[in-house]
């Protein structure tokens, strides 16, 4: 497999030249009417000029270095037979412009940007795109109980369901059980039309959406009918022992402490359990503590339980989602600073 020459030729102090061995892939990298290059230019504050199979990057040294890293990573995706979408460019720009400081969790075994991790489902290969998502995916395969905590759009639930489907079709578990607390966020269940299933299903829709991405419609319908895949509110889990199953509790920040304890103690032989949540989106009544926060406090010292955390840098939805999350985080930090003064 050929690779791009990332050794910059520096005709002047303000530009670098990159050579790309495969002109076909370079065309895909640039995008229609060079729209991908324009995206990188805007995001990294450089100017990029295409000359044959070369790209000339002009700008400040730090901006050039970030753009070179982004272009190299995107070209490597194309060499691996993957596409380059606007979301991929946004992700690489965020990662390239915000170098990660080493942490105590870093180790030689931790997934890095160069690791290839793929989750096989019936309809598609799911590729964790950031270091945090790769570490999370590895934790789901390696641990019987795993937590994924972070803001919306970081792939916590999507990856968990993908791993569940992968383990199910691989014969590692006999069923998939997906659950959420049916907590109202401004509307009351009783105001919705229909029977209990009709009232509850809207709260479960994100789980149905994820399954539809990974399984053909007819197969999914049959599995739901046969109860080999179950989607149910958290309250319906009481009294059960969940054996030989891949179990996901989504939106766990809206579970109370007692509900969380009840759910965690459902874990049976041969099962895997994943708890996902966003501590900034708690819809519980005022004064009711979140079971996710209590579980994090009580269980984070147990070696066989993994905790993986996400930030706005891991958002893989529309780029505005990351900007929105960062704006709210900055406002929260400013409010805390004002309270201290």
Query: Could you tell me where the beta strands, DSSP code E, fall in the chain?
Result: 5-9, 15-19, 47-51, 54-58, 119-120, 125-126, 145-149, 175-180, 229-233, 245-249, 272-277, 305-309
Same domain assignment for residues 93 and 124: no
CA-CA-CA-CA torsion sign (196, 197, 199, 203):
positive
pLDDT at 103: 39
Its domain, for residue 304, covers: 119-340
pLDDT at 185: 45
Q: Which of 97, 129, 158 is the endpoint of a domain?
A: 97
Residue 107 lies in a domain: no
Same domain assignment for residues 148 and 231: yes
Same domain assignment for residues 88 and 152: no
pLDDT at 113: 44
Domain tally, the chain = 2
Burial of 267 (0-12, 13-18, 19+ CB in 10 A): middle
Q: Which of 44, 65, 97 is the endpoint of a domain?
A: 97
Same domain assignment for residues 70 and 195: no
- Give the predicted TM-score (pTM) of the model: 0.73
Provide the residue-wise pLDDT of the chain in tens; the chain has 341 residues.
444 555 544 444 578 888 888 889 999 999 998 999 999 998 888 999 988 888 999 998 888 888 998 898 899 888 888 888 887 887 788 766 554 444 334 333 334 445 668 899 999 888 887 889 999 999 999 999 999 999 988 899 999 999 999 999 999 999 999 998 876 544 454 555 555 566 667 778 888 999 999 999 999 999 999 999 999 889 889 889 999 999 999 999 999 999 999 999 999 999 999 999 998 888 888 889 999 999 999 998 898 899 999 988 888 766 677 777 778 778 877 877 787 77
Q: Are 224 and 212 in contact (CB under 8 A)?
A: no
Residue 104 lies in a domain: no
Residue 109 lies in a domain: no
pLDDT at 4: 55
CA-CA-CA-CA torsion sign (141, 200, 206, 131):
negative
For residue 135, give the CATH number of its domain.
Answer: 3.40.50.300
Q: 309: which strand partners?
A: 149
pLDDT at 85: 83
């Amino acid at each position: 497999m050929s690779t791009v020459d990332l050794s910059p030729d520096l005709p002047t102090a303000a530009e670098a030249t990159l050579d790309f061995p495969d002109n076909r892939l370079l065309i895909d990298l640039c995008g229609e009417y060079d729209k991908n290059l324009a995206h990188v230019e805007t995001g990294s504050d450089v100017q990029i000029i295409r000359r044959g199979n070369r790209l000339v990057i002009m700008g400040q040294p730090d901006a050039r270095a970030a753009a070179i890293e982004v272009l190299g990573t995107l070209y490597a995706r194309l060499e691996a037979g993957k596409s380059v979408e606007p979301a991929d460019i946004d992700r690489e720009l965020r990662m390239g412009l915000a170098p990660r400081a080493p942490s105590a969790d870093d180790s030689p075994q931790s997934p890095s940007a160069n690791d290839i991790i793929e989750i096989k489902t019936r309809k598609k290969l799911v590729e964790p795109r950031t270091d945090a998502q790769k570490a999370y995916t590895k934790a789901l395969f390696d641990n019987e109980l795993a937590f994924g905590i972070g803001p919306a759009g970081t792939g916590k639930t999507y990856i968990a369901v993908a791993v569940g489907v992968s383990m199910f079709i691989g014969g590692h578990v006999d069923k998939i059980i997906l659950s959420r607390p049916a907590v109202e966020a401004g509307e009351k269940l009783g105001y919705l039309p229909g029977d209990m299933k009709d009232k509850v299903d809207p709260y479960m829709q994100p789980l149905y959406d994820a399954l539809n991405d990974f399984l053909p419609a007819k197969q999914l319908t049959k599995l739901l009918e046969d109860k080999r895949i179950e989607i149910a509110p958290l309250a319906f889990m009481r009294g059960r022992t969940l054996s030989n199953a891949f179990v996901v509790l989504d939106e766990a920040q809206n579970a109370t402490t007692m509900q969380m304890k009840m759910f965690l103690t459902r874990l049976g032989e041969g099962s895997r359990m994943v708890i996902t949540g966003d501590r900034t989106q708690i819809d519980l009544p005022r004064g009711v503590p979140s079971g996710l926060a209590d579980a994090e406090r009580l269980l984070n010292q147990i070696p066989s339980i993994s905790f993986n955390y996400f930030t706005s840098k891991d958002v893989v939805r529309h780029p505005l989602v990351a900007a929105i999350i960062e704006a709210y985080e900055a406002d929260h930090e400013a409010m805390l600073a004002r309270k201290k003064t």
